[in-house]
Chain A
């Protein structure tokens, strides 16, 4: 019962402390890192499940860190939205850690300890960002996730270093913009607690500084999630990252950033402000359309499987951002559903790419000929993932696409419908080239 009450804190504390545990056990025996990390991820997943269960049973609740009442203390707020995202993040992390074992041994034999330490820290950051109800705390966790992400990516081969460096630069700009936006909010309201901000801000809706804060935060998270045209760092960074790191970073970091956007927009600024008072939604949907088309077309042009997948991520981010800014119930439902579905789909595809690299040493599309005979189970799983990416029923991708398109029709954004369909067709071409 005690654990049940403390689960929201545990889901951050477990991976955080296990980072030390991994490091220390690694001093004695490198091979002990994997079991420790696996155990930590399993426990974390358990904690997120407990949290999710509690949300389902009793509705949203808050957890006060150290017992300090908000708005002074930091509070964790769990509702249905982030309860779901938490479970998805922890689940994918668990899968990723299981996947990583052989791949890390092969690709990074000297850096096993570092890899797992960074791995669990990254998960700490991602879960913390998702669970927190405090705007500044969010920044700190964002940076924890970002710093470990940079390092994980730079662990890769030669080209990964330069890609990682660019990621550091752009990622820092993004995080700094976010921090600046929070600073503006703080000047105007004197508060950092999200619920508190939501209560104070309605009196300030006409204020320019609040609008600037919104823009700064938006640009910041867009840089983090690689929303077109701020996506330039993503393809190289994710392509050259070690396979095992790619499996964690690619499915989760962009998705959590999308979640952050939704959370800030709805829980700090309120839907009424961002959709009704401001008229930014329309241009953002157009940007999302551009992101989808751009990502799809560039994905078509790639000869290398991982790179192709990274451009698909750019397109998928367009799905979610566009879906949210459609400002309709269906659209937002679709965007949230797609966060979860896309995390699983992307993991499946990146894990597949990792397996191909592990087995054949390369991941060029031309290397993939005849893999069906060699690894039928892997290819079958990949096929399912690919179908989900295309959006063929009855896979998960179909249902999120269904909601997104319904939302777009409801909002009258037929350009977004067209973009989604074109992207589906391009995905079909892409994946049937492989299958």
Chain B
């Protein structure tokens, strides 16, 4: 394993933060403003991609920013796991930026400059989490993300937005300050370091009870992962404009949550320690509970975005489940699912937004026959649904395949049943939407037969992500290789 020092990761983090300056400067000229967002997105993507070959060769890139406290540095480290996450986020940022333009202009939203600025900040924080070399750095970026997304959630500035914003911050900050911070300090105190180690850093430092308590504090403390009972912020955050829900609450923010759990499980505790104490199973059951409950709740939601939100909660726990299995296949499945779910879910959210822009409809019961009006959008919706359910020919199939293999490998038959039951539930809450959108008698249809798609800026991105979802089943190699490298580093095999 080769380690190289380079400033590239820092640049990748900072480029979107720096983009805030031109974005605010061009506040009065929307075209230039959006151009700077794109430019930043492309530079960021370029920086991330330029590091891929080296990482795929098994290398690691490190960069130390500053030593804030003695023995505790703010440090970036790019390895396969972080690269996978960063790749997904930076790709989808560009796509979402395009979509944002269509959505925000289509609805003539206010304060667009603020919106694009904080979006850029949020992306910086996301990449920061992906590239963090120790728990401390991760925590810094984690909190930065919480704060940067608050103005986005409360974008509408009405009563509902404010209440939701309060709920959002209450859950996210409350758990991170109340659970993660003390857990991190105890870890630091016990292990003397917070650097993520391939085999964990806690083994041999603390007793069984302490490990259990710490694990629970971390898992529930990263409330961004939406583990029940700390999931309620996610449906509440759906008051945000849809691009925010699409990128942040299907990809960046929530994936930061599960990614953090993944990092802590592998880098702080270490798979061996957890396996020896049978704590992986505990994690699996926590995740399984969330998967099933969230899927059941999703069935009864009429608001399209709320249904998607509960679906997200369930899907996030797939990834946690993958971490809890502690077996190579399971871990691979969890990591790959970060990417596959991202592409699938973002498509769904973009469709929801596109429907809202074109027709103003938010509720599923109002969408009978919408397929005839917006055939492209609804086809993309179908593909996204298939991916989230985990059916071929979509990317979601690959990750679910690995997860199922993982349950067999880890001898967790119960989890296998959970996965299958959840897939059925997913199908039960997604397919009726598509079915009723296309197949209904003319009398039932609430829309005319004229095709009327939303603005091009909206349609192109969602077609792109839908296509990507399909393409990923044939070309999943980059993600699988990255995940494989990461898992090999973790399990030492």
Contact flag (A, B; Cβ within 8 A) = yes
Q: Which residues of A contact B (CB under 8 A)?
A: 387, 390-394, 399, 402-403, 405-406, 409-410, 417, 421, 424-425, 428-429, 432
Instruction: Give the contacts of B250-308 with A (CB-CB under 8 A).
Output: none
Which of B31-39, B40-48, B171-179, B327-335 interfaces with chain A?
A: B171-179
Assembly CA distance A387 to B176 (angstroms): 14
Assembly CA distance A387 to B140 (angstroms): 13
Question: With contacts defined as CB atoms under 8 Å apart, how many contacts are there between chain A and chain B in the complex?
Answer: 50
Q: B69 an interface residue at 8 Å Cβ cutoff?
A: yes
Query: Residues 400-414 of chain B: 1 if any A CB is under 8 Å from the residue's CB, otherwise 0?
Result: 000000000000000
Known: A392-B143, A392-B147, A394-B140. A405 touches B177 (CB 8 A): no
Chain A min CB distance to B154 (Å): 10
B189 contact from A390, A410, A424, A429, Cβ within 8 A:
A410
Instruction: Give the contacts of B169-206 with A (CB-CB under 8 A).
Output: 169-170, 173-174, 177-178, 181-182, 185-186, 188-189
Q: B1 an interface residue at 8 Å Cβ cutoff?
A: no
Q: Are B181 and A405 in contact (CB under 8 A)?
A: yes
Q: Are B186 and A409 in contact (CB under 8 A)?
A: yes
Q: Are A399 and B68 in contact (CB under 8 A)?
A: yes
Q: Are B178 and A425 in contact (CB under 8 A)?
A: yes
Query: Closest residue of chain B to A376, judged by CB?
Result: B114
Chain A residues positioned under 8 Å from B182 (CB to CB): 405, 417, 421
Q: Are B177 and A424 in contact (CB under 8 A)?
A: yes
Query: Closest residue of chain A to B190, judged by CB?
Result: A409
Chain A min CB distance to B480 (Å): 35
Assembly CA distance A410 to B139 (angstroms): 21
Query: Closest residue of chain A to B173, judged by CB?
Result: A428
**Count of interface residues, chain B, beta-carbon cutoff 8 Å:** 20
Q: Are B69 and A428 in contact (CB under 8 A)?
A: no
Chain B residues positioned under 8 Å from A429 (CB to CB): 170
Assembly CA distance A399 to B166 (angstroms): 25
Chain A residues positioned under 8 Å from B143 (CB to CB): 392-393
Q: Are B178 and A421 in contact (CB under 8 A)?
A: yes
Chain A residues positioned under 8 Å from B173 (CB to CB): 390, 392, 425, 428
Known: A393-B143, A394-B140, A399-B68. A405 touches B185 (CB 8 A): yes
Chain A residues positioned under 8 Å from B147 (CB to CB): 387, 392
Q: Are B139 and A393 in contact (CB under 8 A)?
A: yes
Query: Closest residue of chain A to B186, judged by CB?
Result: A409
Query: Residues 120-149 of chain B: 1 if any A CB is under 8 Å from the residue's CB, otherwise 0?
Result: 000000000000000000011001100100
Q: Are B189 and A421 in contact (CB under 8 A)?
A: no
Q: Are B169 and A406 in contact (CB under 8 A)?
A: no
Q: Are B174 and A425 in contact (CB under 8 A)?
A: yes
Query: Residues 64-92 of chain B: 1 if any A CB is under 8 Å from the residue's CB, otherwise 0?
Result: 00001100000000000000000000000
Q: Are A406 and B177 in contact (CB under 8 A)?
A: no
Assembly CA distance A387 to B147 (angstroms): 10
Q: Are B177 and A425 in contact (CB under 8 A)?
A: yes
Q: Which residues of B contact A (CB under 8 A)?
A: 68-69, 139-140, 143-144, 147, 166, 169-170, 173-174, 177-178, 181-182, 185-186, 188-189
Query: Closest residue of chain A to B165, judged by CB?
Result: A432
Chain A min CB distance to B124 (Å): 13
- Of listed A391, A405, A410, residue having the most chain B CB within 10 A: A405
Chain A residues positioned under 8 Å from B166 (CB to CB): 432
A387-B147, A405-B182 given; 20 more Cβ-contact pairs under 8 Å? A390-B173, A390-B177, A391-B177, A392-B143, A393-B143, A393-B144, A394-B140, A394-B144, A399-B68, A402-B69, A403-B69, A406-B185, A409-B185, A421-B177, A421-B181, A424-B178, A425-B173, A425-B177, A428-B170, A428-B177
- What 9 A-B pairs come out closest when comparing CB atoms? A393-B140, A409-B189, A424-B177, A405-B185, A393-B143, A428-B173, A392-B143, A421-B178, A406-B185
Chain B residues positioned under 8 Å from A417 (CB to CB): 182, 185
B174 contact from A391, A409, A428, Cβ within 8 A:
A428
Known: A393-B139, A405-B185. A399 touches B69 (CB 8 A): yes
Some 13 contacts from A to B, beta carbons below 8 A apart, are A390-B173, A392-B143, A393-B140, A393-B143, A393-B144, A394-B144, A424-B177, A424-B178, A425-B173, A425-B174, A425-B177, A428-B169, A432-B166
Chain B residues positioned under 8 Å from A399 (CB to CB): 68-69
Chain A residues positioned under 8 Å from B188 (CB to CB): 406
Query: Closest residue of chain B to A414, judged by CB?
Result: B182
- Of listed B140, B143, B189, residue having the most chain A CB within 10 A: B143
Q: Are A402 and B185 in contact (CB under 8 A)?
A: yes
Chain A min CB distance to B134 (Å): 13
- Of listed A391, A393, A403, residue having the most chain B CB within 10 A: A393
Query: Closest residue of chain B to A429, judged by CB?
Result: B170
Chain A min CB distance to B23 (Å): 16
Assembly CA distance A410 to B186 (angstroms): 9
Assembly CA distance A406 to B181 (angstroms): 11
Chain A residues positioned under 8 Å from B144 (CB to CB): 393-394
Chain B min CB distance to A300 (Å): 14
Assembly CA distance A237 to B431 (angstroms): 66
Assembly CA distance A92 to B147 (angstroms): 27
Chain B min CB distance to A174 (Å): 34
- Of listed A390, A402, A417, residue having the most chain B CB within 10 A: A402
Assembly CA distance A393 to B177 (angstroms): 10
Chain B residues positioned under 8 Å from A424 (CB to CB): 177-178
Assembly CA distance A402 to B69 (angstroms): 10
Chain B residues positioned under 8 Å from A392 (CB to CB): 143, 147, 173, 177
Chain B min CB distance to A28 (Å): 47
Query: Closest residue of chain B to A401, judged by CB?
Result: B181
Chain A min CB distance to B280 (Å): 27
Query: Closest residue of chain A to B189, judged by CB?
Result: A409
Chain A residues positioned under 8 Å from B181 (CB to CB): 405, 421
Chain B residues positioned under 8 Å from A405 (CB to CB): 181-182, 185
Assembly CA distance A375 to B14 (angstroms): 28
Chain A min CB distance to B171 (Å): 11
Chain B residues positioned under 8 Å from A406 (CB to CB): 185, 188-189
Chain A min CB distance to B414 (Å): 35
Chain B min CB distance to A214 (Å): 31
Chain B min CB distance to A54 (Å): 24
Chain A residues positioned under 8 Å from B189 (CB to CB): 406, 409-410
Assembly CA distance A255 to B155 (angstroms): 39
Assembly CA distance A416 to B170 (angstroms): 22
Chain B min CB distance to A395 (Å): 10
- Of listed B147, B177, B189, residue having the most chain A CB within 10 A: B177
Chain B residues positioned under 8 Å from A428 (CB to CB): 169-170, 173-174, 177
